[in-house]
Amino acid sequence: MVRVVIVGQGYVASIFAVGLERIKRGDLGYYGVPLANELPIKVEDIQIVGSYDVDKTKIGLPLYEIVQRYWKGDVPETLQEVFVRKGVHLRSLRNLPIEAVGLEDEMSLRDAIEHLVSEWKELKPDVIVNVPTTEAFVPFEDLEKLEKAIKEDDRDRLTATQVYAYAAAQYAKEVGGAAFVNAIPTLIANDPAFVELAKESNLVIFGDDGATGATPLTADVLAHLAQRNRHVRDIAQFNIGGNTDFLALTDKERNRSKEYTKSSVVEDILGYNAPHFIKPTGFLEPLGDKKFIAMHIEYVSFNGAIDELVITGRINDSPALAGLLVDLVRLGKIAVDRKEFGTVYEVNAFYMKNPGPKEAKNLPRIIAYEKMRQWAGLKPRYL
């Protein structure tokens, strides 16, 4: 059994919840779940025990109702039992057409953290999954600075994710072990401050930023070229979507966060920094959750010949991450059981766009996959 608390009951979290219950009900196979049911902990063992949000229209409602905003179909009745609680917002919804309310409206951040920890001690999660709106953030790097910001109630310096991760550490320390899966771009597994804190607090951190969409595919296509020693001249990658997450990314503040997460996938895989333009490109409402991606790669082959590849696609954004979460919560529980506190590169390298710890590199995902299986105690698939 894995007990899960969700932070951010949006598109991804709702598809995660409904998909999980539909699998339990027998509606679906394990498609989109990389390890399917190979792990000793079964998909059916996962149980959502709590959920947090700061959207005024969601707090207090059962998942059953929220999920219907994102998925049309026969929603399992089991989702009637979990209700959305109030989290901390700290500018999370700034500039979005959503009214935010948060614990910090009525109390200090320290008190809010204490409030969360005490709720969690009641809900008893093994794993906390962090999937709120993309944030504008600055990493801490230094644990003392983080402690200071919390102590001083520095609401301009801290983001919600940083506060949730801090609270998770407090909780893990008190209960002897827990995992925090950071599926969003805010640096947590890549922030030495948090990794240090995790080690001290019996916390496992997986992060950062779930590896879905064009980036991991690009990594594998680039590895394909590198292994033939084809010299990449340039890479352009666009993507546009119509869900709230794409809307959030149109906000310049949030884009500032890219200074810290700027993808090094190109250099990590190729061994040189081929000129590239890789950015979320825009918001187009009718596309909904099914984004449109386009990628162009030009490279030099033998005898100076120049080849070109174009990849386009329509990809459902939220199910891609939701499927990974089904593994991540189970692997989180395994890591806690093994007491591998801090962060686990073998897991991050396959599941995360920006695998922690800070100094770690990107691998071709196809290789990372085999290493991750090994870590998880499974037989390699192709090796």
Ligand X SMILES: NC(=O)c1ccc[n+]([C@@H]2O[C@H](COP(=O)([O-])OP(=O)(O)OC[C@H]3O[C@@H](n4cnc5c(N)ncnc54)[C@H](O)[C@@H]3O)[C@@H](O)[C@H]2O)c1
Q: Give residues 45-104 in contact with a second copy (rule: CB under 8 A).
A: 71
Find which of a second copy, ligand X, Mg ion, none residue 132 binds, CB within 5 to 8 Å per kind: ligand X
Site string for a second copy, 1-40 (x = CB under 8 A): --------------x--xx--x-----xxxxxxxxx----
**CB 259 within 8 Å of CB 305:** no
> Chain-centre distance of CA 239, in angstroms?
18
Instruction: Please tell me whether residue 320 binds ligand X under the rule CB under 6 A.
Output: yes
CB atoms closer than 10 angstroms to residue 105: 12
Least distance to a second copy, CB of residue 273, Å: 12
Among 127, 184, 269, 334, which residue interacts with ligand X (rule: CB under 6 A)? 184
Nearer to Mg ion, 186 or 318 (CB): 318
Structure tokens at 338: 């093994």
Find which of ligand X, a second copy, Mg ion, none residue 312 binds, CB within 5 to 8 Å per kind: a second copy
Restricting to residues 102-131, name those near Mg ion by CB under 5 A: none
Backbone angles phi, psi at 212, to 5 degrees: -125, 175
Instruction: Please tell me whether residue 208 binds Mg ion under the rule CB under 5 A.
Output: no
**CB 5 within 8 Å of CB 47:** no
Least distance to a second copy, CB of residue 152, Å: 35
What is the bridge-based pairing of β-strands 306-316 and 290-300?
Answer: antiparallel
Q: Identify which range of 8-16, 110-118, 277-285, 342-350 contacts ligand X by CB under 6 A.
A: 8-16
Nearer to a second copy, 260 or 292 (CB): 292
51: left (phi over 0), alpha (psi -120 to 50) or beta: beta
Among 2, 12, 112, 149, which residue interacts with ligand X (rule: CB under 6 A)? 12
Instruction: Please tell me whether residue 245 binds Mg ion under the rule CB under 5 A.
Output: yes
Largest CA distance in the chain: 69
- CA dist 89 and 82 (Å) reads 21
Cα-based angle 168, 169, 173 (whole degrees, multiple of 5): 115
Find which of Mg ion, a second copy, ligand X, none residue 192 binds, CB within 5 to 8 Å per kind: none
Among 39, 160, 270, 328, which residue interacts with ligand X (rule: CB under 6 A)? 160
- Of the candidates 43, 118, 110, the one whose C-alpha atom is nearest the C-alpha of residue 85 is 118
Place of tokens 């506060």: 163
- CA dist 189 and 354 (Å) reads 9
Among 5, 43, 46, 54, which residue interacts with ligand X (rule: CB under 6 A)? 54
Backbone angles phi, psi at 311, to 5 degrees: -120, 125
Restricting to residues 308-337, name those near Mg ion by CB under 5 A: 317-318
Structure tokens at 175: 């209960």
Find which of ligand X, a second copy, Mg ion, none residue 184 binds, CB within 5 to 8 Å per kind: ligand X
Find which of a second copy, Mg ion, ligand X, none residue 93 binds, CB within 5 to 8 Å per kind: ligand X
Long-range CB pairs of 224-229 (<8 Å, 24+ gap) are: 225/270, 225/297, 225/299, 226/269, 226/270, 226/271, 228/301
Site string for a second copy, 141-180 (x = CB under 8 A): ----------------------------------------
Instruction: Please tell me whether residue 243 binds ligand X under the rule CB under 6 A.
Output: yes
Least distance to Mg ion, CB of residue 259, Å: 21
Instruction: Please tell me whether residue 184 binds a second copy under the rule CB under 8 A.
Output: no
Instruction: Please tell me whether residue 135 binds Mg ion under the rule CB under 5 A.
Output: no
Residue nearest to ligand X according to CB distances in the complex: 10
Long-range CB pairs of 25-34 (<8 Å, 24+ gap) are: 25/76, 31/323, 32/319, 32/320, 32/322, 32/323, 33/323, 33/326, 33/327, 34/323, 34/324, 34/327, 34/350, 34/351, 34/369
What residues make contact with Mg ion under the rule CB under 5 A? 245, 317-318
What residues make contact with ligand X under the rule CB under 6 A? 7-13, 52-55, 87-89, 92-93, 131-134, 160, 183-185, 209-210, 212-213, 243-245, 317-318, 320-321
